[in-house]
Structure 1
Amino acid sequence: MSPASEPLALLHSPLHASHVALGATMAPFGGWEMPIQYQGGGVIAEHTAVREAVGIFDVSHLGKATVTGPGAAAFVNATLSADLRKIGPGQAQYTLCCTGTGGVTDDLIAYLVSDDEVFLVPNAANTAKVVAALQGVAPEDVEVLDRHREYGVIAVQGPQSAAVLSAVGLPTELGYMSWQDATYEGLPVRVCRTGYTGERGYELLPAWDVARPLWDALLVAAAPLGGRAAGLGARDTLRTEMGYPLHGQDLSTEITPVQARAGWAVGWKKDAFFGRDALIAEKTAGPTRTLRGLVALDRGIPRAHQQVKGPDGRALGEITSGTHSPTLGKGIALALIDTAAGIQDGDELIVDVRGRPLRVQVQAPPFVESHVR
């Protein structure tokens, strides 16, 4: 194999050695080697810890980028989908970086620092694409930098999350989607009250060099509260119970926010953002397919790419995300369904699970109660 054809080495988070010491099952994710689950627990135990106590996640694979310079916030507002004018400094916003045809290059969180600075947290594999899209249209005095390897990201999620942060001296009295800069061992940590689980929680952005001691301290504080380290397996079951989209499955360059029912993340009254004309046209005409929630009525687990059919056997769409819900004890899924079929909540459909019919009921997410606020 020539050097040009050799696979790229997986990146490691600043917490990699800790994961190995905890006996984590590691796997590739967005170009990084990340923990899927930990020895002595497993996905269900880690999922349950988040719902009932607290879970500590390493999500350092998430991207980090800065947009700085005169009018940086106005520039971001003219490119990304959500209306950044609706929040103030010290607040964060879920937003989308769309393509010219209305697809989604990535979904991300924008932290508003000031009129002249915005901090962005995209998904791992798409960071370079988001940075390139912004750099391609940025004014000369606005700088867009990829700072992926300068910060770790640790998510502390669950009803005991505030107690864990207090134990390590970090701020907790934050409104939903608000953030505050703090320090740990003299190095900066940005603390935001947000997350991807449906529970009250925080995402911490520590300087790369302080991420491991902070992680270790968080685990020590979480243990007596019934908390534990949690991997990306539990993160996926938790987010699916909430109906939160995963880019590359429920949102993509081929799946628009109109189709994915993410129009709430679009500032429709703005004069400009990537993909604006295409999205307005689709919204006006109505999407040909719509993301719907499904709950299994029989034993079985729906999985991505399985076909969804009507009671008459007619193909109606495809599963985008599917899993076993540890909270409900049954299969759940998100699926893109033909809008013309007129499917409503409560309707019964069929998922083709490797040739076996699985009865499912259409249900709007979240599938379990959210406590995020």
Structure 2
Amino acid sequence: MSVTDPRRSPLHDHHVALGASFAPFGGWEMPVQYSGTVAEHTATREAVGLFDVSHLGKVRISGPGAAAFVDRCLTNDLSRIQPGKAQYTLCCADDGGVVDDLILYLVGPDEVFAVPNAANSAGVGRRLSEVAPEGIAVDDEHDRHVVLAAQGPASPAVLAEVGLLTDADPLDYMAFVDAEWNGRPVRVCRTGYTGERGYELIAPSDGAGVLWDALAAVVAEQGGLPAGLGARDTLRTEAGLPLHGQDLGPDITPLQARCGFAVGWKKDAFWGREALLAEREAGPRRRSWGLRATGRGVPRGHMAVKRGDEVVGETTSGTFSPTLRTGIALALLDTAAGLDEGDVVAVDVRGRTLECEVVTPPFVASHVR
């Protein structure tokens, strides 16, 4: 394999055996679907889907005061949570643009485990390393772990059946526990990216196939399916969850993307603080909204949104919603246009007008809690 070839999950052969189709994503070759995106989407909403998301980054920050150091860099207020909890946060540039969004696992005051997006993992680690004080280590552990996600209403039963949780201890939302399975450590966190109740598992890459097979067997018993990145995308879009590089990015700030909840506004320091405070004071010039098609057609990303003849924004993500059976999109709309819930706009779908209703995301009610 050349240096330009995409990376593969340690579970690649298991996906091949299941008949998965693959596509490049964030520098990785990952399964897009097995039995079909709609079937996998529906299985996750109604039962359980099993995802391999090992392309996600894994960065350990450790040393005396590691948590306080991370808190001075990233946007959210890490002091709001206790060890054993996870937190959604953002890595911003000085101008307030989003370098990446990520999940932090607070192990203790001297250790934080970060899960950035695949394409941005090295960049986030480098930024932290460049300003880390003496005694703080920032270690890229991307290849040491797999990340699996069991998502859907039957996910607690799946984890209980394989022995990773008990029925009496299903974990609170955004809480994690370090368990042991088959003699190996597995970090189990009740979070995910689908809008459904679910869990993400971080396990050693070596021998991860045994864990995947055990989970897949119980998922099948529960009426679920292995699911690829196609279903992950339709699920997260229905849930109104942003994807970095589309709905968040260097030119899209947290306030524009409705992620202001992940900013510790009262903190004295974090990257991009001054720019974001100034934007909050002035009000963002654009804001993310949901668009639900009222006619036949599917909006995609980077399509003009119009009110009459006036362009008032652009879609950032778009797909067909298997749950709603219609096209949906996330879009950045100019605040000066004064659009609000229930207004009607038009998306230019390759020269054809598609009428859409402006809605507040999510499109489908969340069941994560």
Q: Same fold judged by TM-score > 0.5?
A: yes
Count of aligned residue pairs for this structure pair: 366
Match of 1:175 among 169, 172, 175: 172
Deviations 1:266-305 (CA, angstroms, capped at 9, x unpaired): 0000000000000000111111111111100001000000
Distance 2:268 2:313 in 1: 34
State the partner residue of 2:191: 194
Q: Does 1:281 align with 2:278?
A: yes
Distance 1:104 1:186 in 2: 39
The 10-residue stretch of structure 1 (206-215 or 256-265) with the greater mean CA deviation from structure 2? 206-215
Instruction: Report matched runs for 1:24-173 at 5 Å.
Output: 24-38=20-34, 41-171=35-165, 173=170
Give the partner amino acid of 2:280: K
State the partner residue of 1:357: 353
The answer for unaligned runs of 5 or more in structure 1 is none
Distance 1:173 1:316 in 2: 45
Distance 1:258 1:327 in 2: 28
Give the deviation of 1:367 after TM superposition.
0.6
Give the partner amino acid of 1:70: P
Give the deviation of 1:258 after TM superposition.
1.0
Q: Secondary structure at the match of 1:351?
A: strand
Distance 1:64 1:51 in 2: 27
Deviations 1:222-257 (CA, angstroms, capped at 9, x unpaired): 112111100000000000001000000000011000
- Report if the CA contact (8 A) 1:67-1:143 is conserved: yes
Match of 2:289 among 272, 281, 292: 292
Distance 1:336 1:211 in 2: 40
Deviations 1:130-167 (CA, angstroms, capped at 9, x unpaired): 00111111101111111100000000000000111111
Q: Secondary structure at the match of 2:206?
A: helix
What RMSD over aligned residues (CA atoms) do the two structures have, in Å? 1.0
Q: Does 1:324 align with 2:320?
A: yes
Normalised TM-score (structure 2): 0.98
- Report if the CA contact (8 A) 1:185-1:210 is conserved: no
State the partner residue of 2:13: 17
Normalised TM-score (structure 1): 0.97
Match of 2:342 among 346, 351, 361: 346
Match of 2:264 among 264, 267, 270: 267
Give the deviation of 1:348 after TM superposition.
0.2
Give the partner amino acid of 1:275: G
Deviations 1:307-354 (CA, angstroms, capped at 9, x unpaired): 0000x2200110000000000000000000111000010000000000
- Report if the CA contact (8 A) 1:316-1:341 is conserved: yes
Give the deviation of 1:8 after TM superposition.
0.8
Q: Does 1:236 align with 2:233?
A: yes
Distance 2:281 2:237 in 1: 29
Give the deviation of 1:205 after TM superposition.
0.3
Give the partner amino acid of 2:115: V
Q: Secondary structure at the match of 2:213?
A: helix
Q: Secondary structure at the match of 1:78?
A: helix
Deviations 1:7-34 (CA, angstroms, capped at 9, x unpaired): 6111111110000001100111111110
Distance 2:270 2:12 in 1: 38
State the identity as a percent.
63
Q: Does 1:369 align with 2:353?
A: no
**Structure 1 runs of 4+ with >4 Å offset:** none
Give the partner amino acid of 1:46: E
Distance 2:338 2:364 in 1: 25
Distance 1:7 1:42 in 2: 31
- Report if the CA contact (8 A) 1:184-1:210 is conserved: no
Give the deviation of 1:210 after TM superposition.
3.0
Match of 2:311 among 315, 326, 347: 315
Q: Secondary structure at the match of 2:353?
A: strand
The answer for unaligned runs of 5 or more in structure 2 is none
Deviations 1:194-225 (CA, angstroms, capped at 9, x unpaired): 00001110000011113211110001011121
